Amino acid sequence: MDAQGNRVLVTGGRGFIGRAVVKLLQDSGCGVVSLDVAPGVNSSARRHELECDISDARQLQRVFEIESIGGIIHLAAILPTAAQREPALATEVNVHGSLNLLEMARRFGVRRFVLGSSLSVYGTCPPDQVVSEADRAAPEDLYGAAKLYIEQLGAAYEQDGLEFVSLRIGRVVGSGARSASSAWRSQIFEYLASTHAREIILPYVGSERILLAHVDDVAKMLAELLRAPKPVHSVYNAACESVVVADLKREVERLNPLVKVGLGEAYASGNPRRLDWSRLQDEFGFQTLPIFERLRIAAGKS
């Protein structure tokens, strides 16, 4: 997109996935505008960090007036726990903010809009059901319902020439998540190099399956959907690995005996346990590195 002087706008650019996406795009030579409600700390020839609340249409319009935006990766959102606690704020950001962004994309001639959606659009599924994009969406919380509605909004805006595509993402793991409510997603990687005793709490029962995607793989998927000449579909399941919680506990403790993993009593409600992501694999040839292999690398044993 830089060939025409256009940049990629990444909303939520200072978040966990956003930082990985911005880095990947910048490393590939792409001009990036990173947007977040948190203040920016970096500005360079290829990357601007701007402070902006997407629920404020006037703020957002000023960004589009001063920047030449050719594509958007939309990640900004109030996450599930906070959304349930503050439903009005979640609606303002997740729904109205996304609508503002779609409207700016239409008005300013953006070519491609990629939404970071969620597997929570499917709701709770039977343990043995392998969920594909053809399965009916039935979200059970505000977060999942908002993601589904944005997908439907995006389809409506395609009538005005905007290319809209959605990636439904599972639980994202990797170093640097900074999550208070799901600290284990980073700890399973960060603690593996520890030289003193550490404890990780996985909130799930040992027999449960959870769908995991590494943050670097998620960034690559989003970038691929942005750059592809013309995706065949408007919705894709992200490449995720179905991992048994007890196996994850066992592997982390094996890689570093100083790390002990405690388990909780929760089940993976609100999400599938198994996933068909062959649409993404078949169309783009996308492959991932297994989660346990990434854990071995983090422990310095691969």
Concerning whether 143 is annotated as a catalytic residue, the answer is yes
Three state DSSP letters for the chain: CHHHCCEEEEECCCCHHHHHHHHHHHHCCCCEEEEECCCCCCECCCEEEEECCCCCHHHHHHHHHHCCEEEEEECCCCCHHHHHHCHHHHHHHHHHHHHHHHHHHHHCCCCEEEEEEEHHHHCCCCCCCEECCCCCCCCCCHHHHHHHHHHHHHHHHHHHCCEEEEEEECEEECCCCCCCCCCHHHHHHHHHHCCCCEEEEEEECCCCEEEEEEHHHHHHHHHHHHHCCCCCCCEEECCCEEEEHHHHHHHHHHHCCCEEEEEEEECCCCCCCEECCHHHHHHHCCCCCCHHHHHHHHCCCC
Closest CA to 116 of 169, 163, 53: 169
- Catalytic hit among 143, 157, 191, 236: 143
For residue 9, report the phi and psi dihedrals to the nearest 5 degrees.
Answer: -90, 125
The angle, 0 to 180 degrees and rounded to 10, between the axes of the packed helices 245-255 and 291-298 is: 20
Residue 296 has, within 13 A of its CA and on its CB side, a CA count of: 7
Closest CA to 218 of 177, 270, 267: 177
Closest CA to 91 of 106, 78, 105, 103: 78
Please give the positions annotated as active site.
Answer: 143
